[in-house]
Amino acid sequence: MTPNDPAGKRTSGNPATQAQLNLSVKQQREQQKQQKLAEYQRQLAKRRRTKATWWIVGATAAIVVIGLVAASYFLTPRPVSIARGDGDGAGISGVQTFEHTANHVEGVVDYEQTPPAGGDHNAVWLNCGVYDQPVPNENAVHALEHGAIWITYDPSKVDEAGVAALKAELPRDYTVLSPYEGMDTPITVSAWNAQLKVDAPDDERIGEFIKAYWRNTNGPEPLAACTGALDAPGKQ
């Protein structure tokens, strides 16, 4: 029961309740307004903190992505840019030259060199590029006829690092890189009617041979394409 004071005002024996009773309606509304304002400011501050956190996370992720893209660009070997060769490798130690016919034939051809460096070949050329499986001789020789360079390696003698070093020597096009078993040397570099055999992928003569014979005009069809024909198994 709430007692009344002599003046007729409502009173309470509980001090907290009495303080509440003493507040006017206007004061109560003002107090509620201040409470709501304080709560809004707390929520606003929380949202700002959350937004800032996500901004930092997003910015960090963007930096990581940019870093990965940049690393990929700068660490990926760029294709070698060279001019068309003059077809004269006489000054390169170990280069052998040959004279071959260039007829289109069907079936398997018994070539004089291993791997071949020219001769009769299939009417369909091999598309230039990197292969991780052996490619058909007859199609690869047709690519040589078009001015391509064919780099072959013995997979039992050249490891992954060696293959990567050979890839780094490749011009942007008109080259074929493939494994080749049964060679008498770890690596052979061939062009139409010319060939070089080396023991290691870091042999400087590989680059010299490519510069001398890449897209040279010694072949019967030096301006023909090296794409748009046969993709052998293992094309990367």
**H or E element, residue 190:** strand 187-191
Q: What mean pLDDT value characterizes the chain?
A: 84
CA distance 153 to 133: 11
Residue 64 sits at φ, ψ, to 5 deg, of: -60, -45
Coil, strand, or helix at residue 22?
Answer: helix
Tell me what the mean pLDDT of segment 164-171 comes to: 95
Q: Given pLDDT bands bounded at 50, 70 and 90, which one contains residue 36?
A: confident
CA distance 210 to 30: 88
CA 54 to chain centre: 30
Q: Are 189 and 195 in contact (CB under 8 A)?
A: yes
The tens digit of pLDDT for each residue in 96-105 reads 999 999 999 9
Q: Which residue reads 């303080």 in tokens?
A: 19
CA distance 69 to 91: 42
Name the token pair of 134: 């052996």
pLDDT, greater one: 47 or 222: 222
**Strands 194-198, 96-97: pairing kind:** antiparallel
pLDDT, greater one: 78 or 163: 163
Amino acid at 15: P
Nearest to 176 by CA among 208, 146, 220, 218: 146
